Amino acid sequence: MATPHNGAEKGAIAKTVLMPGDPLRAKFVAETYLENPVCFNTVRGMLGFTGTWKGRRISVMGSGMGMPSIGIYSYELFHFYDVDRIIRIGTAGGLADDVQLRDVIVAVGSCTDSRYAAQFRLPGTFAPLASFRLARLAVEKAEQLGFPVKAGSVLSSDLFYGDDDTALPSWKKMGVLAVEMESAALYMNAARAGKEALCLLTVSDCPLRGESLPAEERQTGFTRMMEIALELAE
């Protein structure tokens, strides 16, 4: 049952999907962690794989960059492929003073400057939230693995290159931990579909301090976040 953006057949995708932005990171996760991974999608280069981990069937697929892109892929996974939960594993720019490079963040809530929610015609402002069950499990699994994590709100922005230099400091003063570009749309799609979603993030740069990790480490170096996400598979 192919869609315009996914060539997978019905049943080729597991109930749990890990979703990095970069399709090459999806390939890395599949080849590094999954047993007998099978590629189910190559449409538009957005690679997707299904395999097993500790006997559990799990899929991993890229989402692309930004809310429009993850909005398409997560919608199709939830509505056309019977996926029950999507766990985004992505990078973020740290904003809070106590957030450092390589920190893992559990995005409990997602603030946004996007109008993605306008399509739902709600009589107010929607607050995109993670699945509480998955967020709690992620913190518990991290503690069991001995990995420190921070949990709180993030900013899901439509802008990577913004023209307002006051924007990120303004979000920071409201306690926002980090900025990324996909979680709000994922959380809204999950809410509308009655499914579960969680965003786990590794801090790849701290834009207010001018700190960043090299591109190669962004693609392959976030093993703690990946291992926490894999533990959430059902």
Give catalytic residue positions: 205
Q: Which two tokens stand for residue 161?
A: 């290159």
What type of residue is 20? P
Query: Distance from CA of residue 18 to its chain's centroid?
Result: 8
- Work out the burial of residue 211: count CB atoms within 10 Å of its CB; fewer than 13 is exposed, 13-18 middle, 19 or more buried: middle
Residue given tokens 């509308």 in the structure block: 192
SS3 173: coil
Q: How far apart are CA 77 and CA 91, in angstroms?
A: 21
Question: Do residues 188 and 126 touch, judged by C-beta distance below 8 A?
Answer: yes
SS3 59: strand
Q: Which two tokens stand for residue 183?
A: 């979680």
